[in-house]
Structure 1
Amino acid sequence: MVQLPTAPGPTTARATAARRWVALAVLMLPVLLVSIDNTVLSFALPQISAALAPTGTELLWIVDVYPLVLAGLLVPMGSVADRVGRRRLLLVGAVGFAAVSVVAAFAPSAEALIAARAGLGFFGAMLMPSTLSLLRNIFTDRTERRLAIAIFASGFAAGAAIGPVVGGVLLEHYWWGSVFLLAVPVLALLLALAPAYVAESRDPAPGPIDPVSIGLVMVAMTTLVAGLKTLTKDDPRLAATLLAAGLVAGTLFVRRQLRRPEPMLDVRLFTIPAFSGSVAVNLLSVFSLVGFVFFASQDLQLVIGLSPVQAGLVLLPGTVAMVVAGLTVVRVVRRVRPARVVAAGLAVSATGYLLTALVAGRGEAVWVSVAFVALSLGIGMAETISNDLIVSTVPAEKAGAASAISETAYEGGSVLGTAVLGSILTASYQAHVVVPDGVAAADAGAAAETLGGATSVAAGLPAGQAHALLESAHAAFADGVTITAGIGCVAVLAAAVVALVTLRRVES
């Protein structure tokens, strides 16, 4: 007698649904980790400046090299994940990221820390495409997937909220390297739970790995960001050369993908307005967010004089607002077109940057907190909707590549936010700071490089010299914040316009 298959009963369905949400919780671990890592590092910059004495350029590279390597490798790693298995690559990345985190924690110099951060970018590129693409395959129902992606996107904000507080406690009681050790227990939990709750998935008919395309992506990303950073220096010829090299490499990459029968990245997806518009909104939103955190963390600690924990608590309302906005927008977008929701939210975000430009230099933490709340509300909505649209426009078997594009936009925005806004802020500071006479040459050089350097040097000067140096440094920093806040405001408004134009035909 043949036993016919039966439909799953209510208990089985509930168990299956429960496993999906447990899988989501497991996949949130690397998301939280990446977000915590970025935020904690921003708050650790003053301690790193004092301990390792990096130059202004080295300080930017300590921040930039991780998302730079990550962004350059996300598309290749997304392609690899589609071929070898997304869960497998996730676990390999977890092991490598944990090991290199320990190396970074004990880096003896700025150069060593930059190298370790590059290693974290390499293994981080294995983590990120796998998480979002696995969600695309776990949640096949559109409504469920939209909520799952909202929770996923909110994980970045949750990590940003947890990072400053937990990291602040570590920085007040231990050395700066302790913040990197946060990755170890998080990834240990991932390695323990993922094999049991996250099913393996891959592209059933993958194409061959393309080393030439991988190289072109890396060259394009590296030279473009290096060129943008060099623009703020007195070497326009080098900046132009680097930017030209990046554009050439990017053009060659696109042409190669169009010619290949099985491209590493299907660039034709960018002909879909909703897809390309969502990628642009994602990038510009993160550009604005990371640029704000870069100068706000220094302003709160080095100008206003808060401890790392206190500074984290000042930004906590904003990160909570981002989480709430990201989850609430799931219901709103059922009734209102995504274009209108994203544009309205980003218009609110622009007021946060406008407020920052108006009150820069006042030394009041409350204005930083209010500005960050406004900025976070729109970005929380934009991230949820853009990530959902990016992964929803491709077949499930190509989810790794689409997820890689989404994560590349996120990390590309992170790189550019620090490279562009951070470089402009640093250049403005260096152009306006005045070091008092009588300061030793080495100390004068350090004070003229960064605000952290000036703060460290002032601690060893007589009261009169210290006051003059800090007054000049704080004023120079405030001038830079005003400029970068204005640029951030323009970027957010540009993202709102892109959303109105490219998402106008997307239904609720």
Structure 2
Amino acid sequence: MPFVAVMEPIQQKRMTTAAASAKASRREWIGLAIIALPCLVYAMDLTVLNLALPAISAQLDPSASQLLWIVDIYGFLVAGFLITMGTLGDRLGRRRLLLAGAAAFAVASVLAAFARSAEMLIAMRALLGVAGATLAPSTLSLIRNMFHDEHERQFAIGVWIAAFSVGGAVGPLVGGVLLQWFWWGAVFLAAVPVMVLLLLLGPRLLPEYRDPEAGRLDLASMVQSPGAVLAVVYGLKRIAEYGLDPRGIAMLLVGVALGVLFVRRQRHLAYPFLDVTLFRRPAFSAAIVAYALTGLAMMGVYIFMTQYLQLVLGLTPLQAGVATIPWSVCFTVGSLLAPRLARHWGARRVMVRGLLLAAVGFGITAMVVPPYGLWFLVAGMIAMSIGLAPVMTVGNELIITSAPPERAGAASALSETSAELSGALGIAVLGSAGMLLYRMWLGPAVPAALDPADGVRALATIGGAMSVAGGLADDGVFAEAARASFTNAMRAIAVFGAVMMLAAAWMAARLMRDGGATPVAETGLDDVAGA
């Protein structure tokens, strides 16, 4: 009996090791292609909307605040419901949640396409956000369970991230063509055929995974998690737009209080929505922080880039879409090369060097000056995308492998929550800060004889300024002042983005110090995550 007692755990360990190193079959690789579809649609929907902003501004005439809400409420609600949806996927089935989310996303896209007011479009974007929250944790957690071999899983995650880049590349082209020939609402309809294809093929090709020991869903956590995220975001948005606004401060405090209650509650639940013990692992914390800072900086400057291409440089929507292709193509290449770089350099070096290259890209964007603005912008996009793609691939690997396979949905939801929330905050906070700088620099150039309503509209958005300038007989002086003010605001946000990338690189270098000395081919990212 003692011999058997000793050999039993050894045999179990061997069985676990064999399962972990099992190669994926043809079914898993075909399933990966199906999983990539909602990721592509998610990115396509985001980039298409950015290109459609000028058309939306012209037809729906939203205020500056409404324009930001049209863009960022989707990300806010995705971020708010990700943790809840990740836990639901672990409990109810990840394939089931993915297909339900795809159906809801298709319906919400049709409703958004036919919105007839800024308020209605904001509401439909909110519905898209709730539906979108089901997609990311389901797809990433399915990858965690489908691919047990470390190197195959790294490549699969690279494909998963590359799908976002392909969507970013296809989105501007599809959106540019649609905006060239149809009304702005058509950009939402592009997502419908892809979701229908997923609904048709998903049940046949995707396996179902759920946690057989999942506990009861905690209703209090389901309220606290989205409540905390939405209250914090709304409070920060109000403060960024109106200064130390009492309502903004109150909502921020409410959100922080709900967040504290949520975290405390998770420590005492047998089946928590958020495993707070994961943050004790330095590599996990470094990956989460780096992921969040990159999303904050990237989305904060990207919303300015798309408007700069059309409203400052005067490109058509299709030309602007073509100009963003290098960003998406380089991001795709970087995502697919990330596993090879990780095996050669190790996780730590990939993260740090990628963040430093991204900082260079933000710095190049900050040097945008006429008449070479387009070339500086494209060069900055290329450096940013090549630097950030490996960071996100390796970071996601560290995050999802830190949790047990049966809780991969919750872990992937935490990863996506940090990305979505930081991206939404980048649009809200950095977008508001950039527009504050724009108004500050443009204010002195507003003609004294201009109608007060037109003055407010010109200071609200660059689109409004171009519209007002078209009715002035000043030989384009005011229009040129508006373009210069907007360009300076974008450059300032790019400088801030470079600083954040340097801070993230410093943090990754310190927290992952013990994990990056040996190439991943020898130690494995799982070992780094447990360092």
Normalized against structure 1, the TM-score is what? Answer: 0.94
1:256–1:435 Cα change, 3 Å: same
Name which of 337, 348, 353 aligns with 2:346.
Answer: 337
Name which of 78, 81, 96 aligns with 1:88.
Answer: 96
Within a 5 Å distance, the mapping from 1:32-431 to structure 2 comes to 32-238=40-246, 239-360=248-369, 364-431=373-440
> What is residue 4 of structure 1 aligned with on the other side?
none
* 1:16 Cα offset (Å): 6.5
Q: Give ranges in structure 2 of 5+ residues lacking alignment.
A: 1-21, 521-531
1:16–1:218 Cα change, 3 Å: closer
* 1:319 Cα offset (Å): 1.5
* 1:391 Cα offset (Å): 1.0
**C-alpha separation between the residues in 2 aligned to 1:307 and 1:36?**
18
**C-alpha separation between the residues in 2 aligned to 1:34 and 1:52?**
24
* 1:432 Cα offset (Å): 2.3
Q: Contact between 2:361 and 2:380, CA under 8 Å: does it hold in 1?
A: yes
1:152-189 alpha-carbon deviations (Å, 9 max, x no partner): 11111111111111111111111111110011001011
Q: Give ranges in structure 1 of 5+ residues lacking alignment.
A: 1-13
Deviating more after overlay: 234-243 vs 42-51: 234-243
Deviating more after overlay: 432-441 vs 109-118: 432-441
1:332–1:363 Cα change, 3 Å: closer
Count residues in correspondence: 493
> What is residue 17 of structure 1 aligned with on the other side?
25
* 1:300 Cα offset (Å): 0.6
1:449 and 2:456 are equivalent in the alignment: no
User: Secondary structure of 2:343's match?
Assistant: coil
**C-alpha separation between the residues in 2 aligned to 1:474 and 1:214?**
45
Q: Contact between 2:239 and 2:245, CA under 8 Å: does it hold in 1?
A: no
> What is residue 17 of structure 2 aligned with on the other side?
none
1:361–1:114 Cα change, 3 Å: farther
**C-alpha separation between the residues in 1 aligned to 2:298 and 2:84?**
26
Q: Contact between 1:361 and 1:474, CA under 8 Å: does it hold in 2?
A: no
* 1:361 Cα offset (Å): 5.8
Q: Contact between 1:223 and 1:242, CA under 8 Å: does it hold in 2?
A: yes
1:397-424 alpha-carbon deviations (Å, 9 max, x no partner): 0111011011111211211110121111
**C-alpha separation between the residues in 2 aligned to 1:502 and 1:337?**
14
* 1:363 Cα offset (Å): 6.0
**C-alpha separation between the residues in 2 aligned to 1:317 and 1:235?**
37
* 1:15 Cα offset (Å): 11
Percent identity, aligned pairs only? 44
Q: Contact between 1:361 and 1:478, CA under 8 Å: does it hold in 2?
A: no
Q: Contact between 2:70 and 2:125, CA under 8 Å: does it hold in 1?
A: yes
Q: Contact between 2:57 and 2:67, CA under 8 Å: does it hold in 1?
A: yes
RMSD over aligned CA atoms reads 1.7
Q: Contact between 1:40 and 1:164, CA under 8 Å: does it hold in 2?
A: yes
AA in 1 matched with 2:111:
V
Q: Contact between 2:24 and 2:148, CA under 8 Å: does it hold in 1?
A: no
